[in-house]
Amino acid sequence: MSRRALTLLLAGFLVLALGVVGAFRPVPYVVLSPGPTENTIGEVDKKPVIAINGRQTYPTTGALSLVTVAYQGGPAAQIDLLTALRGWIDPTVAVVPQETIFAPDRTQKDVEEENTVEMTNSQDSATAAALTELKIPFSMVVTVLSTEKGKPADGKLQKGDEINSVDGTPATDTNAVSNAVKAHKPGESVTFNVTRGKERLDVTVQTVSAKGQPQVGVVMQAKYKFPFDVDINVGDVGGPSAGLMFSLGILDKLTPGELTGGKKIAGTGTIQPTGEVGPIGGIQQKMVGAKDSGATVFLTPADNCAEAMKAVPEGLRLVKADTLHDTVLALDALRTGKGNVPACEAG
């Protein structure tokens, strides 16, 4: 073999070796793919997803399914370049920069814990929204779930504190508390009036800047006092985006007749206790998951409609969801064939 041929062979081998090594190097991206669906009026592991005790319930049929997004990657388990490339080719998944999900100052454990808290809050908000729709009275208090280590609230606010007001503004829900804090500039002080045990006291906390926004580092939970028990079991699912479907599942069980008309309906959207439906992430992957589960109708938050219309799977009908009340009316119209069914429109 000539020296030139040997050189080319060795160079080719080195390029191939470097390519193979490079393909398996970790990269700071996360792959998002369609996750599992759960029927909120069905069962998980032979247990009802929604169990109601202390109030009359009614039989249901069909499906009101929540949809999820599975992710691969993250600070603790970065994907390799080959996995990212496969994701870029697959139209049903998305490959996004790691920092869009895991902020530089937050670990994977922090994000997972936050998702768990958001899921718990979502379940409570969903119950509150359903009871509000049914005009069933209940009460609510905002409590401190935890404080972030090193942040201003650490050591001042305590787990279990009931927040009555912030700078005199009543703590009607967690959003009211957040908005009262955000009304300040970073560096200004905020006064929390809290009930701790049997004592009511004022706690002053100085805000700090987090991406230009004021923050004190408190994790809150809205604790509702409902007139009966509503237990929600979805296994290892986190985040707030199942709120709308939880509310619909609760409503379906608490009212005669069937919201679905026996159809398989899936959907997504955060929910406020007052019934407003909010936008979510991963809409494309959630629609694919809905279609794969057999759903023919997909309840879509109004703010996600334009994005959803760009990639809606064939055979899946998108129904716009602005509020819980409007969504119930839309389901009634779908079931009876009478009335308006609000559709998503391209932006």
Dihedrals phi, psi of 147, to nearest 5 degrees: -125, 150
Q: Which pair of structure tokens corresponds to residue 190?
A: 């905020």
Helix, strand, coil share (%) of the chain residues, nearest 5: 30, 30, 35
**Can 241 be counted among the known catalytic residues?**
yes
**Can 135 be counted among the known catalytic residues?**
no
CB 308 within 8 A of CB 318: yes
Q: Which of 65, 241, 247, 253 is catalytic?
A: 241
CB 117 within 8 A of CB 131: no
Give the C-alpha separation, 75 to 2, whole Å. Answer: 48
Other C-beta atoms within 10 Å of 4: how many? Answer: 8
Q: Which of 156, 286, 291, 320 is catalytic?
A: 286
Q: HSE of 95 in the Cβ direction (CA atoms, 13 Å)?
A: 17
Buried-exposed string 269-280: b where 16+ CB fall within 10 A, e elsewhere: bbbbbbbbbbbb
Active site residues: 241, 286
